[in-house]
Each structure stands twice: as structure tokens, then as C-alpha cells.
Chains A and B, each alone.
Chain A
Amino acid sequence: MPSETRLGFPNLGLGVGLRHVHFSHILETWPNVDWFEIISENFMDSQGRPRDILDQVAERYPVVMHGVSLSIGSTDPLNHDYLLKLKKLAGEINAVWVSDHVCWTGVAGKNSHDLLPIPFNEESLSHIVQRIKTVQEVLERPLVLENPSSYITFQDSTMSEWEFISRMSEEADCGLLLDVNNVYVSAYNHEFDPYEFLQSLPHERVVQFHLAGHLNCGTHCIDTHDGRVIDEVWALYKKAHELTGGVSTLLEWDANIPSFDEMHAEVLKARDFLAEKEVEELNTSDQTATDQTNSVPHPINYYVGSEAE
């Protein structure tokens, strides 16, 4: 598929998230991984070791910036200080693209540090489209937005999530980060057909896929990023690949993080699934849990590494 259909963004291959527990391994081995994704907020203010390591990584690998604090759906004003820092970091590390989520994280000056859902209606669509345009003007590049996992819907919604996201991306002329695991989790929680979600998107706007593990609590799923990708999600990934022609794919693993090699091997399974090969250690079911109170949706996304000698 020509790169123009991806807002000019290339297919980077199969990447993994840059996580602090792997810093030493990466510096020692410079692993043969296609690309890295960073959590923007973990690096945008760092003037210490995290930033030094990012600079070294960015010299050797394509790097994509993935944020969790843009709060594009919030009714609070956009934080221009944050946007300028985002733009500065993107320029300094030559980020291939910048992404965040279709969500809001706080209102009235507060930040929940969660990816909170928005109602899918005309008011929120108009609001978010206008803000995406503003952000793209500031960043001077297309914004790429991800469908988050969600645990509630609103009576105020007047359209499906996929209709909302499709219209949003067309009207704002932005890219999409299709998190296949999030589609599965939200479909489970809200009882819709995940394949209808995939089928209905403007596929030419999908710039990137996310894969991750989640926790199945029986009554609902929680997007925990703490394990392997289950077969049902791999099946959705395969369908998404067919529909889009294939785009950059990244595995998120943010809790109970295994060794770098094990994490990398998980995303490399994508090649086997797409080639319809038999994959060892197939995950035939979700992780299950009876106690959901300790399960935190999606990553903490926070690096504390200060040590003293």
C-alpha cells in the first residue's frame, strides 16, 4: 500500500515499548528490533538518565512518541506548555509520529492520569475535531489517535465508537492507532461485535496497531498490559492486517514485564500469525481473575529510577 495512504508514515515493522527495566539490556546488546515506542511523558521533562538513553536509542532505531496526557477530549483548555514540550521532544529525537488517545484525562484543572471515555455524540465530536486541528497546527504534523479500552458507555452517546472515530479522523484529518486489544476489551465490556468495529474504520487512516494482554474478570475485561496476547486478539489483528494492508505494529507490556527477549518474541509472533504458521505456546484463553480490585487498567507509565550512592 502506498505510504501516502498512511499520512506519509512508513510501515516500521514490529516494535516494542521502550521500558526502563530493559534500559541496560538495550544499551548492552542493541537488539535487532525494528522500532521503539516511548511514553512521551516519561521523557519530555527528563534531563537525566532516561533522556540520555532515549537519545542513544533514537540514534539507532526509529522512535514513535505515544502520550497519555494530551487529554484531547477534555473540556479544559489545551495545555500549550505541554504541547510545546511534546513538539520539542519530537523534533529532538526525530520521532516518526506522535500519538495519544481518544479520551480525556481530567477536567477543572485536575488530572486523573486515566484514559477516561467520552460520550460519542455530535457535541463531543465537534469539540474533539476542533482540538485535534489545533494540536496538529501546533505540532506541525498529523496527530495519531488510539481507541482506548473502556469500561463504561454513556446514555448521551448517539453513535457507535467506530462511527465516532471514523468521522473524527476524516473531519480532523488525523491518523489512527488501532489498538486491537482495546477493541477486544471494549467489545467484551460493551457487548458489540469487534469485527464490525474493525470493518467500519477508514482503513487508509490506520497508521499503527497496538497489541497487548489483558485480564478477563468474567463480567468484564481490564486492559492491564501485563501478559501475552490472546488468540482472539491475534485473530482480530490478522483481520485488521487484511483490511489495512498491514501497518507498523507494537506490543505493549507494562506490568509484570518479562525479559526483553521474551517481550520481543511476543510481537514477533505477528509474523507467524500473518503467515498462518503454528505458533508455540498459544494463548487459548484470557488471563482470568476473581479479584478485580487490584487490577489497574493500562500502564502506570511512570519511571522512577532515582538511586543514590
Chain B
Amino acid sequence: MNEQTSRSLQSLQTWLQSVITHPNGVSAGILGAQDHITLTPEEIESVVPASSQLDSISKIEVYGNAYYARLIECLGEEFPAVKHALGADTFDSFAFSYLHQFSSTSYTLSDLGRQFPSFLEQTKPSDAGELGWADFLIDLARLEWHYSEIFNGPGTEKIEALTSENLQSLTPEQFTMCRLVPAPCLRLDEFRFPIHEYATAVRKKHESPPLPAPTLTRLVMTRRQYVVRRVAVSEAEYCILQELVNCTDESIGSILDRAAEHWGNEMQEHLQEWFERWAAAGYFVGLESLTR
């Protein structure tokens, strides 16, 4: 041990982090971290002493190897269907590139995969023409991220959702003066493939389904009793639900009047059934007056 420190704690930490996270390994990291500590890999013992059993580079490599291994494993846990679709080796390669581009800046690993779907979008081959494999993976990653957010986010388990009776007994005044308050776990999203079926086959049934043919798929996702649930809905149901969720300054009646102009017979035929299903699934948790 030295009697005096020769470097600041900050420079040592910045150096070590740079070295162990370098994508080309510790030796490349040492050469790339000259701004923090100027030395060659051969001079590494001036910073990190060797033991009688292990040289300094190998010691640092314990951290370097663990850095990517640990975080790639976490991403694999977060996106099991994407990992299955890609195969473990290819997934790990994508995850490695992702981690190099998007280092974690959060105290929680729950945030690690937040930008993975957009990373896949950004790295999609530019010459890809028709909908294909890359688009399927992007959609699948987006779905799995929805699942993670819904699973750990706020839910309705400890609050009363609106019942079918509540919805059926809305007064004309409430229709014109109120909006429906969506459950905090409610998500709507459109996908280019029926990726929910693929994800369920992989995640719950441990099957290896083939790549599905492109089919515009509109999903409503939520959580009941701590289990994430999803259902594919028609375009009309999706669009009306989307309006009810997103138009925060418009009454139920106004939204339904506008929807009736667009969806006409389909809406008339199914609206009651939809409301019953929305109530049963707990999509809405209250009424909010727009006159406040």
C-alpha cells in the first residue's frame, strides 16, 4: 500500500468505469481511458496490483466480464420473447450493442430496457422494404416493454373500477358533463403483427411458434389481480377507447356522438357489449366532471 494517494478518487472511479465498460475489453479500455489515467496496459500494476495467482488485467476483467454478462442477462429476462425469436446468441449481440449505446443511468435495473424497442427501430437495416422480421422484433419488444411497465406500475387492485351497472346507469347529464377516468394500468397500442399470440406462446407455453404473417393488431392491455392481461380488439372499438382515454377535456357523450358519425352501425351494434366488457376488465375507475 502506498503512503500517499497519487490520484483523485474521482479520476480513479471514472477510469475504472471506463475500462470495465469498454466494449473491446479491459486492455482496450485502458488505452481508451488515457484522459483519466495515462498508462499502457503494461503499466497497469501502477494502479491495480497483481496477486501471486492473477495478473492485474485478469483481475479487472472479472468486473469487465460481469458488467456485460449481468446486464445482458437482465435484458433477456425483460424481453424473453424477443430473445427467443432472435436466438440467444443474436439477442446477446443486440443487447451488447444496446448497452454500449445506452448505458444505464438509473438506480434500478427496471429502467434498463426502456430504450431497447427504439434501439431496434434505429438499428433496423435501412434497405428493409416490406414488413418483415425486423418489424416483427420491434413490435415484439414494444409489447414486452408494455408488459413490464404494466406489471410493476400502478394498478386497480386496491381501488374500485366502474362496474357494468355503473356504466349502464350513467345519467344524460353525466354523459354530457363527465369523462371516464381510465385505469392507470390501461395501455392501447397498435402493432403490425399479432405479436401478443407469439409472446404468449413463448412466455407462458414455452412453445416455438413460427413468425406470424403481418396483420394489423390493436391491443388493449391492463392488469387485474396483479396479472397483465391483453386483448385484441376491432378498429372501431380501439379508436373509441382511444378517444375516451386520450380526450381528457371532452365528455363521454361528445366522444360517442363523434364516434357514431364515423363508425355508425358497427358502433350501434356493439357499444353495449363493449361497455360491458370494458367494465368487466376494469378499464375505467371513475367519472370526472369536466366542469371543475
What separation, in Å, do the CA atoms of A297 and B51 have in the docked complex?
Answer: 19
B-chain residues with CB within 8 Å of residue A190 when the two chains form the complex? 51
Q: Is residue B153 contacting chain A, with contact meaning CB distance below 8 A? A: yes
> Which single member of A52, A112, A120, A296 contacts B69 (CB below 8 Å)?
A296
Q: Would you call B227 and A154 a contact (CB within 8 A)?
A: no
Q: A113-B70, A114-B70 are in contact. Are A304 and B54 (CB under 8 A)?
A: no
Q: Is residue B209 contacting chain A, with contact meaning CB distance below 8 A? A: no
> Which single member of A82, A127, A157 contacts B107 (CB below 8 Å)?
A82
> Which single member of A41, A104, A122, A157 contacts B13 (CB below 8 Å)?
A104
Binary B-proximity of A36-62 (CB < 8 A = 1, otherwise 0): 000001001111111010000000000
Interface residue range, chain B: 35 or more
Q: Would you call A48 and B17 a contact (CB within 8 A)?
A: no
Q: Is residue A130 contacting chain B, with contact meaning CB distance below 8 A? A: no
Q: A220-B51, A297-B66, A306-B228 are in contact. Are A48 and B152 (CB under 8 A)?
A: yes
Q: Using CB atoms, name the residue of chain B closest to A220.
A: B54
Q: Would you call B104 and A110 a contact (CB within 8 A)?
A: yes
B-chain residues with CB within 8 Å of residue A151 when the two chains form the complex? 59-60, 62-63
Q: Is residue B4 contacting chain A, with contact meaning CB distance below 8 A? A: yes
Q: Would you call A116 and B9 a contact (CB within 8 A)?
A: no
Total inter-chain residue pairs, C-beta < 8 Å = 201
Interface residues of A in 186-211 (CB under 8 A from B): 189-191
Q: Is residue B226 contacting chain A, with contact meaning CB distance below 8 A? A: yes
> Which single member of A47, A156, A308 contacts B228 (CB below 8 Å)?
A308
Q: Would you call B229 and A107 a contact (CB within 8 A)?
A: no
Interface residues of B in 140-170 (CB under 8 A from A): 144, 147-148, 150-155, 157
| Closest Cβ–Cβ distance, residue A290 to chain B (whole Å) | 14
Binary B-proximity of A98-135 (CB < 8 A = 1, otherwise 0): 00000010111111111010111111100100000000
> Which single member of A50, A121, A124, A293 contacts B152 (CB below 8 Å)?
A50
Q: Which of B71-79, B129-137, B235-243, B268-276 contacts A (4 or more CB under 8 A)?
A: B71-79
What separation, in Å, do the CA atoms of A154 and B19 have in the docked complex?
Answer: 14
A-chain residues with CB within 8 Å of residue B46 when the two chains form the complex? 155
B-chain residues with CB within 8 Å of residue A127 when the two chains form the complex? 9
Q: Would you call B109 and A113 a contact (CB within 8 A)?
A: yes
Interface residues of A in 16-47 (CB under 8 A from B): 41, 44-47
A-chain residues with CB within 8 Å of residue B226 when the two chains form the complex? 48-49, 52
B-chain residues with CB within 8 Å of residue A297 when the two chains form the complex? 62-63, 66
Q: A50-B152, A154-B12 are in contact. Are A191 and B51 (CB under 8 A)?
A: yes
Q: A47-B152, A47-B155, A127-B9 are in contact. Are A307 and B47 (CB under 8 A)?
A: no
Q: Would you call A155 and B62 a contact (CB within 8 A)?
A: no
B-chain residues with CB within 8 Å of residue A159 when the two chains form the complex? 1
Q: Is residue B53 contacting chain A, with contact meaning CB distance below 8 A? A: yes
What separation, in Å, do the CA atoms of A191 and B153 have in the docked complex?
Answer: 46
Q: Is residue B5 contacting chain A, with contact meaning CB distance below 8 A? A: yes
Q: Is residue B204 contacting chain A, with contact meaning CB distance below 8 A? A: yes
A-chain residues with CB within 8 Å of residue B52 when the two chains form the complex? 191
Q: Would you call A74 and B13 a contact (CB within 8 A)?
A: yes
| Closest Cβ–Cβ distance, residue B248 to chain A (whole Å) | 22
Q: Is residue B251 contacting chain A, with contact meaning CB distance below 8 A? A: no
Q: A109-B105, A111-B106 are in contact. Are A155 and B49 (CB under 8 A)?
A: yes
Q: Would you call A119 and B62 a contact (CB within 8 A)?
A: no
A-chain residues with CB within 8 Å of residue B154 when the two chains form the complex? 47
Q: Would you call A156 and B12 a contact (CB within 8 A)?
A: yes
Q: Is residue A152 contacting chain B, with contact meaning CB distance below 8 A? A: yes
Q: A75-B13, A110-B105, A305-B151 are in contact. Are A158 and B3 (CB under 8 A)?
A: yes
Besides A116-B13, A116-B63, A155-B6, 5 other A-B contacts (C-beta < 8 A): A71-B107, A114-B20, A156-B5, A189-B59, A309-B230
- Residues of A participating in the B interface, judged by any CB pair closer than 8 Å: 41, 44-50, 52, 69, 71, 74-75, 79, 82, 104, 106-114, 116, 118-124, 127, 151-160, 189-191, 218-220, 222, 292-297, 300-302, 304-309
Q: 5 shortest A-B CB distances, which residue pairs? A: A306-B151, A49-B226, A69-B107, A151-B62, A75-B10
Give me 26 A-to-B residue pairs in the complex whose CB atoms sit less than 8 angstroms apart, sorted by A's number.
A45-B108, A49-B151, A52-B157, A79-B107, A108-B17, A113-B109, A123-B9, A151-B59, A154-B12, A154-B48, A155-B6, A157-B1, A189-B54, A191-B53, A293-B69, A297-B63, A300-B70, A300-B74, A300-B109, A302-B74, A302-B109, A302-B110, A307-B151, A307-B204, A309-B200, A309-B230
